[in-house]
């Protein structure tokens, strides 16, 4: 998970010996809450079998069908948190860079059963459980609280 590379995601602690002298430093990760990793997955490859085929055209079609698919190997992935609907609206900037290859995409709903025209489908590690976002992560993502709901 690349988000953990952010300096704000870790806490430094000084290790001390029995007499209280500093002997080193350790880093621990701050709590991230419950989240889900979501990404696009390629369609399931059809069963690859070979049959007796006659003619060059049939053999060429068979060779194409048996080739492994390498398209989409650099598909992006997302980390998703489900936060409770409170008495104030929560918003995030439309796009905010967090580091190399990381950006906040904003608030929204993830379609858990989406499928693209090329056959790729959305897969997730699990459905995230609804809980408040940790305060440090809310601040790091640029979260804002809106007016109170009527």
pTM above threshold 0.85: no
Is the pLDDT confidence value at 33 over 80? yes
Taking the CB of residue 140, how many other CB atoms lie within 10 A of it?
Answer: 19
Number of residues assigned to the chain: 150
Looking at residue 28, its pLDDT comes to: 83
State pLDDT tens for residues 54-85. Answer: 677 877 777 776 666 655 556 778 888 888 87
- Residue 37 domain-assigned (yes or no): yes
Dihedral sign of CA atoms 29, 34, 39, 41 in order: positive
- Per the structure, the complete domain to which residue 125 belongs is given by 32-43+54-148
Work out how many domains the chain is built from and give that number. Answer: 1
Which 8-state DSSP code applies to residue 33? -
Mean pLDDT for the chain? 77
- Residue 69 domain-assigned (yes or no): yes
């Amino acid at each position: 998970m690349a988000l953990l590379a952010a300096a704000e995601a870790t806490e430094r602690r000084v290790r001390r010996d029995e007499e209280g002298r500093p002997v080193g430093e350790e880093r621990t990760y701050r709590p991230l809450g419950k989240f889900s990793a979501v990404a696009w997955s390629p369609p399931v490859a059809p069963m690859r079998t070979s049959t007796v085929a006659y003619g060059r055209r049939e053999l060429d079609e068979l060779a194409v069908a048996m080739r492994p698919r390498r398209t989409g190997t650099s598909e992006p992935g997302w980390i998703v948190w489900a936060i409770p609907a409170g008495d104030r609206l929560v918003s995030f900037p439309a796009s905010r860079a967090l580091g190399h290859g990381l950006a906040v995409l904003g608030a929204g709903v993830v379609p858990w059963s989406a499928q693209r025209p090329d056959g790729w489908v959305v897969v997730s590690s699990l459905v995230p459980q609804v809980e408040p976002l940790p305060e440090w992560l809310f601040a790091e993502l640029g979260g804002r609280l809106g007016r109170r709901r009527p």
